[in-house]
A and B are shown apart, each in its own frame.
Chain A
Amino acid sequence: MISPSAQYMAAFRSGATSAVLMTFSAYPRKFTSVPLGDGDAWKFPWIAKIGAYKQSANDLDGSSSISNMSVTVLDLSNLITQDFPSVPGGFKGQKVTLQHGFVGLALAHWITFATLVVDTVSTDSDNTAYTFNLRDQSVLLQQQIYTTGANPNYYTSSKNPATVGPSNPMDLLTAICAAVQPALTPNAGAVAAYKAGLLSGAQIEFSLTHSETAKDFLSAEIMKPFGGYWFFNSLGQVTPYCWVPFQLPTVASSIAVSAIDQTNILKVPTADEAALVNQVDLTMEYNQNASFAAEDIEFQATSISLYNLVKSQTIDSRGQKLNFGCWAWVRLLANALFQRYAFFSPTYDVTTFMAPAQGGAAPQNLPPACLELGDHVFLSGTGIKNRSTGLIGLTSRLCEVKSFSKDFGKKTVELGLLDKGWLQALSPYEVAPDGTPVYASASSAQRATYAYIGSAASGTFSTGAANEVIY
């Protein structure tokens, strides 16, 4: 999630003119989409056209993708042409930062919505403009890593394997970012949060007999076995995201959700179904014979019986070891995956305005342009077909962002959402402070907040209230 400042939010709510700013890592000129002030850099709308910024998660494969994006910039007074000889690489390979803000808003408060790299520069509009074709930095992850084994004088091979770990997967993600050239920046905040939370204590270990492609290793061995994927966030940082529930988004922050309702939906969202997964087959304990010595298959019997169909998620994890508790982890992972996909979870394709709803009472908590992969929104809309209830309309349905397309030209955001209503049914009870009274003596607020142990025999607390269920 891109966290906007209060000033950005105020400008957003005021309906000020929206603008995009494009800056380069080694080129002084900045390009804007609307005039912002005096001086060559600001008084002209350099940007003639800006394509959509599209990103989608491949949550079952541990990866994500960003579509190439183009920005067409006017070659005012041939200034860009004149600059070309002095621009390193002729722009190619330069890092580009794309920001969004509003006329009148100080630059310090603009949000960065994409950090990309110039792939090519083409001449456009009868030689009056240049189109910068931008790509993400994932090409850097095509590099080989772990190229030398235990003996650094020799390439990694079966006779000279590279031992990696035991390490926390987040430490390996960080190490991989540092191993490619030029180094990528990991999202330190997300890494630290996972290392201290969901993946606390988790370990993986590899004995590699050949070098690995960084991207494949990151996806298949670091993120996929832990129920997650990686993506480049708006700042271009390699960001881990795990979909195994550990903290409810609404618990973490009131700004962690975004309200999208009929006041800001451009058209009626399309409701569809996610793919089915009702079996998980995880192989682990990869050994020196290049085979997996252990396998755990978990299946969702109700789903299989209901649909007469088995759809399996296969995870071949060379790093997961039984000694590191991966068997128990597989069951957690499978349980979370079945919650997510075992019953054809609804999905929604939603197109929203970037601007706040006009004249409506839309909650003004987070602009859609600030959403990133893995963020959660509450989806409401009277026209949405609800397959669960058979009715038309949804109200504050918790959804996860699986894809987006931010079109700053059309000023719309298309979102691919996965229904996570099942998670709303669970209460994330908390660890209580010492001295918290027993359930019978607790206040209603304490009962609603803290985890309490109920009776196995009766299924209730002493008050007769039903037991809590585990989050």
Chain B
Amino acid sequence: MAVVYPQPLPLVLGYVPGMVDIPDSLFTSGNVFADLLLARLRSNCDFNASMIEVFTAGAYNGDTVALPVSSCTGYQYQDWECFIFGSFTGSYGANGGPSAAGQIQECYSSIGTDLSVHTAVNYYVQGGQFSPTNDGNLQIWVIAQRGWGQLSLAAPSAFTDLADSDFAQDSPVTQTIWRQLNQNCKLIRREFFLNYGVPIATISRGNNLVTCITKTPHNLSIGDPFYVYYCNDSSFNTSGSNVLASGVGLTMQAFAVVSVPNSTTLTWLQQNGADSNSTSGRLMKAQYANGDTLPSTVTSPYDGYVYQRTVDTLLDIPILFYSGRASNHGGPSGGGRLRRLGPYAVNPTTGAVSAAATYYDGSTTTVTTDGALLIATFAERALSGSPPMAAQHTSYNAASGKKYCFGTGSPCPYLEGQQLTDGLIQALNDDAKEAIGRPEFFEFAYGNGTTVPAQSSPLDNSRYSSSQQIYFGVMTDTGDVGTGCLASFQQSVAQTQSFWSPSTYYAVGTQVTDWNGNYQTCVTAGTSENSPPNWPGQWIHSTPYVNTGYGAGASEGQIVFDSNNNQQICITSGTSGGSAPAWNTMLGGHTTDGTVVWQLLKLGLDTQDGPTLVWQLTGVGPGSYSGLITALANGLSGPIVQGVVVCFRS
């Protein structure tokens, strides 16, 4: 059965944008300012906003992964643009329970080159029966990146926080500002890497020796196992699926590096292949294991930007795909059955990988370093400025109106014969900055019953609603199940849709959960904005509060509701006191609270959301939070789910 991806994200473009590397030189004074430039800026901006998408669905052994279609643009992704992998969400199979007696001895999952899903959970009764099964359920992840390995920009772009006033009525189209806008429109800020795989520039085989030149440094060493995917000449590709057969262990079909002449060249032996050449494909290390160290840098195949672990953000999430010995996939190295899977971890500073599996044979507990891992890396480039996009935040102010043009479906307003207007260009400027923040990554690690907090962007302090977040969560540790052994495990991050949603019509009486987890009831019907309003939260003692200082005045500081059911906004950042202050009840009046200073912003609990829609706080949460974690081993709390919240602005 082919997997089906739910959860289309709200941004919908009416066409399929692409990326054109427009040189700054076209914006040299004296050059004609033609429609070609504007239309391509818009296309680049829209491409940037939609170039990464995340698709996810549950699957069992025997299912098939479908190549996704973009929910933003309708674009049909090609396999070489997709990073496809699965993570265990549980040990049970499609029948809803274990298919054999005993406890778990080992487990395995993979996605074959034909996109078929393979899972195996082998059970063992101590001193008795060994039962291989195809139990196990997976969360399939397809992280799609448009043009990965195909697009090539001359150089990384720099970001400049251009104000809308730069594009106001009467403004000339000047060289420097428009070069900066050009850079903003094609600035690629975040990327995804799987096992630090790289695109192939050229690959050739002669006398069974394959020589490969990669477009970016491959970070492989002699002896490293690796795979080749998606080469047009399929004879270069790693063949078959690493399917766990009806016995312990499996055959690893990866190639092994023979020599590394330089950082982008490597060779290996491939028997029985005719001499050939190609210029496509992906090269990816087969696995990581305990004791490995992840690269300290990784280079963007799009524009050559070098992500540095010490400068940029590299969120590395270890994903277990085989619980036994990584060295040869030869089964568990400890006797008996599993007592604990994990912990699997990456040191964020050093990139050191650690893995562990604990076995128990009825008398002896053995802690091993078993475990073969995939590493999902979410990379974000550092931007200067704190926050980098102060100016953009004004466009989030409901009173000033939205300027976003996303979704108008076309670069047509930018064509010849159309008026050159402030609305047109300010929308482009704002959207370019929105695109740079799309998506954003936030790491988390929680146990059973906890919720992943709603996220706000460090770029401009804008907040994400539930429907704008995808929870990429994997179990990195089942915890020690105690004196027994591991019979089952399961984990999930619940993704509900009962939250406030952008650009949605709400009738009077409709109740939603706001981003603070509180209940809001619609008191005046209307259509919501593209991003959440500044909901008032619950005041909490001894807690830092921030006057973000963005927007007009202090209108975008953190807001709480006080004991008088009025709304107070933070105008001086600090930490709240140990107990609630005596709140000022005069509109505009100040209240000192520890080192925080509040100002009474609004009487009552209403929140304006768009031109007509008004919400009223009618209940204190937690509401139906999205991101609710379930993590159980043998039905009990204990496992840890680690992952990344991938947030998409509308």
Contact = CB atoms under 8 A, between A and B. Distances in A.
Partners in one complex: yes
Interface in B24-47: 25-36, 38-40, 42-44, 47
A457 B168 CA distance: 12
Interface stretch (B275-283, B330-338, B457-465): B275-283
A323 interface: yes
B418 interface: yes
List 9 A-B pairs, minimum CB-CB distance, nearest first: A325-B18, A456-B423, A323-B147, A328-B43, A456-B421, A451-B173, A439-B170, A451-B33, A201-B20
A336 B21 CA distance: 22
B173 A325 contact: no
A166 B302 CA distance: 13
A141 to B, nearest CB: 25
Contacts of A456: 419, 421-424
B18 A452 contact: no
Interface in B597-643: none
Given A151-B277, A470-B34, 16 more contacts: A153-B275, A200-B22, A201-B22, A322-B16, A324-B151, A325-B43, A328-B20, A331-B412, A431-B29, A432-B175, A438-B172, A451-B33, A452-B173, A453-B421, A459-B421, A461-B170
A435 B172 CA distance: 9
A88 interface: no
Contacts of B76: 293
A128 to B, nearest CB: 57
Interface in B176-226: 176, 178
Contact of B20 (A152, A153, A202, A462): A202
Interface string A445-465: 010001111111101011000
A145 interface: no
Contacts of B433: none
B56 to A, nearest CB: 23
Given A322-B18, A331-B412, A433 B175 contact: yes
Interface string A274-310: 0000000000000010000110100000000000000
Contacts of B420: 429, 451-454, 467-470
- Which of A339, A439, A454 counts the most chain B CB atoms within 10 A? A454
Interface string A14-38: 0000000000000000000000000
Given A166-B150, A196-B25, A205-B150, A430 B32 contact: yes
28 contacts: A160-B233, A163-B278, A166-B151, A197-B26, A200-B23, A246-B32, A248-B32, A322-B16, A323-B151, A324-B147, A325-B47, A328-B17, A332-B35, A335-B415, A426-B417, A428-B34, A430-B30, A437-B172, A442-B172, A451-B33, A451-B172, A452-B171, A453-B422, A455-B421, A461-B170, A468-B419, A469-B416, A471-B33
Contact of A328 (B25, B42, B75): B42
Given A151-B275, A431-B178, A326 B170 contact: no
Nearest to A336: B416
A302 to B, nearest CB: 13
Given A163-B280, A326-B18, A470 B173 contact: no
Contacts of A160: 233, 276
Contacts of B425: 453
A436 B174 CA distance: 7
Contacts of B34: 245-247, 428, 470-471
B418 A454 contact: no
Contact of B174 (A163, A323, A434): A434
A117 to B, nearest CB: 36
B279 A150 contact: yes
A432 B126 CA distance: 81
Main secondary structure of the interface of A (DSSP, over half): loop
A245 B419 CA distance: 17
B146 interface: yes
A207 interface: yes
Contacts of B276: 150-151, 160
B415 A331 contact: yes
A431 B279 CA distance: 40
Contacts of B175: 431-434
- Which of A248, A332, A339, A462 counts the most chain B CB atoms within 10 A? A332
B169 A462 contact: yes
Contact of B40 (A201, A462, A471): A201
Contact of B416 (A152, A296, A339): A339
Contacts of A440: 170
Interface of B: 15-23, 25-36, 38-40, 42-44, 47, 75-76, 146-147, 150-152, 167-176, 178, 232-233, 274-280, 410-412, 414-425
A452 B43 contact: no
Given A247-B32, A438-B171, A152 B421 contact: no
B43 A323 contact: no
Contacts of B21: 201
- Which of A166, A324, A429, A450 counts the most chain B CB atoms within 10 A? A324
A76 interface: no
A432 B178 CA distance: 10
A391 interface: no
A327 interface: yes
A161 interface: yes
Nearest to A428: B32
A452 B421 CA distance: 8
A198 interface: yes
A255 interface: no
A371 B75 CA distance: 45
A251 interface: yes
Interface in A241-264: 244-248, 251
A435 B176 CA distance: 10
B31 A430 contact: yes
A450 B186 CA distance: 25
Interface string A307-331: 0000000000000011111111001
